[in-house]
Amino acid sequence: MLTELGGKGGCLCEPAKSGTLRCPLIVRPTSEDVITGHLFGTLQAINPRWWLPDFLNHALGVERFRRQVFRKLRIVLWQKQPKFPRWLIPWDEGQTEVDVVITWENPPTTVFVEMKYGSPLSANTTHNNGHAGYPADQLIRNARIGLYQCGCYQEAKLFEFLPRDFSLILLSPKTGNPLVERYRDLGKFRESIPHNGRLATLPRTPFIGEMNYLVLLNILDSNQRFMTKTEQRLTDQLNDYIQFKLDQLISKQSDN
């Protein structure tokens, strides 16, 4: 953030800025990882009571989550998920790395957040270009993997456990992604999942949603009066950074 906002981290050479030199220290303007790390690194330091329920409720469009003490709350970035079972899909699939995984235990809940900044959702994923007759985009892949990890598939297990609640949120500069609307329709969602008859249960609906960065900033701003001075300062800094990144994105799009 210091490098991007004010050059406080030092200067980068011109070849690195232009992209002709692959510099490992460069903060690339289009990097989704940079904005993901700063955004959720800051949110981890703010009491989740003041952002997490509102974030999920706004993204899903329903009042599903309440303000509470989130027991055993964890926010993990870029978490690799176990490979999806081969017997549930007609293609070989590698590991999936989820941008943000949020979990807590009262009740047992898992949230996947797919982050987008300067690029759209991928229409195809590794080893799957839709050749098997099912959608191959990032959103349906993350949904399918999340449901499996949360115990929604029927299979023989050594130890049984109750399914976890699950939500999948697309966080991007703009809302209105057609894939989100498509997969919120349970009929279309099931049609997009191989062996959907193995889905013994589904989370409370809707469990797929989306939000843009400005709405998240508004949530933080509306709850700022309840925060500590430190949290308020962090919120102000985050607001400055996200606004800077959105302006940067608009400028880049206008240049193109």
Cβ pair 95, 82 in contact under 8 A: yes
User: Is residue 57 a contact partner of residue 65, using CB atoms and an 8 Å limit?
Assistant: yes
Structure tokens at 255: 């240049």
pLDDT, residue 25, reads 47
Residue-wise pLDDT tens digits, 227-255: 999 999 999 999 999 999 999 888 877 76
Angular region, 15: left φ>0, alpha ψ -120 to 50, beta rest: alpha
The residue among 145, 79, 142, 83 whose CA lies nearest residue 114 is: 142
Give per-residue pLDDT as tens, 78-128: 999 999 999 999 888 888 999 999 999 999 999 999 999 988 888 777 666
**For residues 14 and 231, which has the higher predicted lDDT (pLDDT)?**
231
- Specify whether the CB–CB gap between 197 and 157 falls below 8 A: no
Query: How far is residue 155's CA from residue 153's CA, in Å, rounded to a whole number?
Result: 6
